[in-house]
Every structure is written in structure tokens, then in C-alpha cells.
């Protein structure tokens, strides 16, 4: 389990947004753990625009949109710039506080965005075509999957990611995914690491909190939705299906 070591300024107030009455200090250094299917592409685009506006340096993969995924992030997964200074971390990865901190400044603000697990799982199931992976077809694929979710989990080589996608992206070790004590420790550790956790269902409100935390202008958080699905592609999740889905994501 990674432990967050106190960064310079984290405990004495210098690393947090220094504020006086009616004022705050503008921030540039930010690390977003980009979560799958949680409005993270929209948030990433806000950071892209902000970084371009202020001529900031991004941690970028040599190709594609992933930084070493599914391995937890390490410096070797990123392009190295000659001046060795970075401001924004925002590409898909599995979370590693140690790996990110090895590249980002000590006053970096850590954020992520999460979503109602039922809605997130339905979106993930459809987007990654998990039904086809298990030989389930048509509009009833998710319902059929939930009739024996644990059996399907056991049949998958990547069952930890499929069982609890958000916890997997947040870096919980695969061999501890079924251990509640480790899960609770991981959640507590993440609570100490992240300065702000945005909520997809309250995205606008979350952006206001981000604006205040970073001391940005309102124009910095204006956005267009990205990667939003058409309503016709969203599967209906009944209350019974939602109950089964929540149960399947629990430790067993």
C-alpha cells in the first residue's frame, strides 16, 4: 500500500492554495487521475486548454492515450523533456502516487472524478463491449451477465478490472481486490492524497470547487461535453439489476 509522504508545503500550508481575505494564489500544477467513463474526457479537455493557454508542460505518453496502463504509472512510461519540469498530468493511467510524484512538483494538486457505480458500470459494459467478451448479445446482455456476474468474473483473465473498474484505476493491487481490510486502507490513503474528488453527477458544482481550489478564472472551466453517448445506446438498468450490480462489485 502506497503511503503519501508529506510534501513540502502540504502540512505547513505552503503547498495548499495560500489565501488571504478576498484573494488566493493562482495554481498551475495539477494531476488528474483520468477515470474511465466518468466525464473525465471533458475534464481532461479543460486541462488541455488551460495548459495551452499558459504554455505549460504535460506528462505525455510516447503514443496513444495511455501512460503504461494497466501497469501503475512509472516515469519510464512518459516522454522526458530536456528541462525536466512538468505541470499537468492528465492521460489515462493506473494511479501511483509515488510514480506521479517522481515527475510532478511538490505543490501539485491531485484530483480525480468518480461516478455513481451503477451508471459507470453500465457505461463501461457497453463501451468496452463486455457482453460480447462473454458471448452475450443484444439488449439483454447486461441483465444476462448479472444473473451470474461472479461466474463471469472468474472466467476473465482481467477480472479485477471488470469487477470494480474505479477501484482498479485508483491503483488497488489486483491480489487485494477481495480483501476488505486492504480496500478500506486504500480508500483511507486515497482520501489523504486527493485534494479534490469531483462527482460526475454534480459536474458543474465540482468544477466550481476546482476553480476555487486552483484560483482559476471562470473562463478556465467552461466546457463542451466530450465522448457523451447517445441516449439510444444507454441500457435500461432496473432496480433489481442495480441491486445485483452493487452486490457483484462487493468483496466476495
pLDDT tens string 93-146: 999 999 999 999 999 999 999 999 899 888 888 888 888 888 898 889 999 999
Asked if the structure places residue 17 within a domain, the reply is: no
Q: What is the CA radius of gyration of the chain?
A: 19
Tell me what pLDDT residue 163 has.
Answer: 80
| Nearest residue to 252 (alpha-carbon basis) of 138, 152, 150, 181 | 150
Residue 94, strand partner residues:
72
Asked if the structure places residue 56 within a domain, the reply is: yes
What's the domain range around 123?
26-249
- What is the number of other CB atoms lying within 10 angstroms of the CB of residue 112? 23
Asked if the structure places residue 2 within a domain, the reply is: no
| Confidence category of residue 83, pLDDT binned at 50, 70, 90 | very high
Tell me what pLDDT residue 111 has.
Answer: 98
Q: Is 179 helix (H, G, I), strand (E, B) or coil?
A: coil
| Confidence category of residue 190, pLDDT binned at 50, 70, 90 | very high
pTM score: 0.84
Q: Which carries the bigger pLDDT value, residue 149 or residue 159?
A: 149
The CATH number of the domain holding residue 152 is 3.40.50.300
Please compute the mean of the pLDDT values over residues 212-241 and round it to a whole number: 79
Tell me what pLDDT residue 37 has.
Answer: 87
Asked if the structure places residue 97 within a domain, the reply is: yes
Alpha-carbon gap, residue 192 to 242, rounded angstroms: 30
Return the minimum-mean-pLDDT range out of 5-14, 73-82, 171-180, 181-190.
Answer: 5-14
Asked if the structure places residue 18 within a domain, the reply is: no
Asked if the structure places residue 15 within a domain, the reply is: no
Asked if the structure places residue 10 within a domain, the reply is: no
H or E, element range at 110: strand 109-114
Q: Which carries the bigger pLDDT value, residue 101 or residue 2?
A: 101
Tell me what pLDDT residue 229 has.
Answer: 45
Alpha-carbon gap, residue 147 to 134, rounded angstroms: 13
Return the minimum-mean-pLDDT range out of 7-21, 196-210, 228-242.
Answer: 7-21
Q: What average pLDDT does the structure give for the chain?
A: 86
Alpha-carbon gap, residue 252 to 44, rounded angstroms: 34
Query: What one-character-per-residue DSSP string does 22-91 give?
Result: TEE-----EEEE--TTSSHHHHHHHHHHHHHHTT--EE--SSTTBSSTTSBP-GGGSPPPTT----EE-S
Tell me what pLDDT residue 9 has.
Answer: 40
> What are 10-58's pLDDT values in tens digits?
433 334 444 444 578 999 999 999 998 898 999 999 999 999 999 999 9
CA–CA distance from 233 to each of 105, 113, 158 (Å)?
Answer: 41, 23, 25
Asked if the structure places residue 211 within a domain, the reply is: yes
Please compute the mean of the pLDDT values over residues 63-70 and round it to a whole number: 94
| Nearest residue to 119 (alpha-carbon basis) of 250, 229, 206, 251 | 229
CA–CA distance from 126 to each of 139, 197, 227, 236 (Å)?
Answer: 10, 25, 13, 12
8 pLDDT above the threshold of 50: no
| Confidence category of residue 165, pLDDT binned at 50, 70, 90 | confident
Q: Which carries the bigger pLDDT value, residue 48 or residue 162?
A: 48
Total tally of structural domains belonging to the chain: 1
Amino acid at each position: 500500500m502506497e503511503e503519501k509522504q508529506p510534501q513540502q508545503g502540504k502540512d505547513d500550508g505552503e503547498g495548499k492554495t495560500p489565501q488571504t481575505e478576498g484573494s488566493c494564489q493562482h495554481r498551475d500544477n495539477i494531476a488528474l487521475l483520468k477515470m474511465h467513463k466518468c466525464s473525465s474526457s471533458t475534464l481532461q479537455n479543460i486541462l488541455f486548454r488551460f495548459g495551452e493557454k499558459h504554455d505549460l508542460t504535460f506528462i505525455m505518453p510516447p503514443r496513444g492515450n495511455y501512460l503504461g496502463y494497466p501497469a501503475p504509472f512509472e516515469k519510464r512510461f512518459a516522454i522526458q523533456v530536456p528541462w525536466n519540469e512538468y505541470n499537468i498530468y492528465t492521460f489515462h493511467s493506473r494511479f501511483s502516487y509515488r510514480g506521479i510524484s517522481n515527475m510532478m512538483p511538490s505543490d501539485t494538486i491531485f484530483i480525480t472524478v468518480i461516478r455513481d457505480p451503477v451508471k459507470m458500470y453500465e457505461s463501461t459494459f457497453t463501451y468496452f463491449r463486455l457482453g460480447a467478451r462473454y458471448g452475450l448479445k443484444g439488449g439483454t446482455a447486461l441483465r444476462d451477465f448479472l444473473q451470474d456476474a461472479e461466474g463471469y468474473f472468474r472466467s476473465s483473465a482481467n477480472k479485477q478490472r471488470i469487477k470494480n473498474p474505479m477501484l482498479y484505476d485508483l491503483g488497488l493491487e489486483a491480489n487485494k481486490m477481495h480483501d476488505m481490510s486492504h480496500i478500506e486502507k486504500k480508500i483511507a490513503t486515497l482520501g489523504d492524497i486527493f485534494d479534490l474528488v469531483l462527482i460526475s453527477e454534480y459536474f458543474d458544482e465540482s468544477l466550481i470547487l476546482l476553480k476555487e481550489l486552483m484560483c482559476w478564472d471562470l473562463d478556465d472551466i467552461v466546457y463542451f461535453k466530450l465522448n457523451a453517448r447517445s441516449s439510444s445506446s444507454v441500457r435500461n438498468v432496473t432496480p433489481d439489476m442495480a441491486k445485483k450490480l452493487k452486490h457483484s462489485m462487493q468483496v466476495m
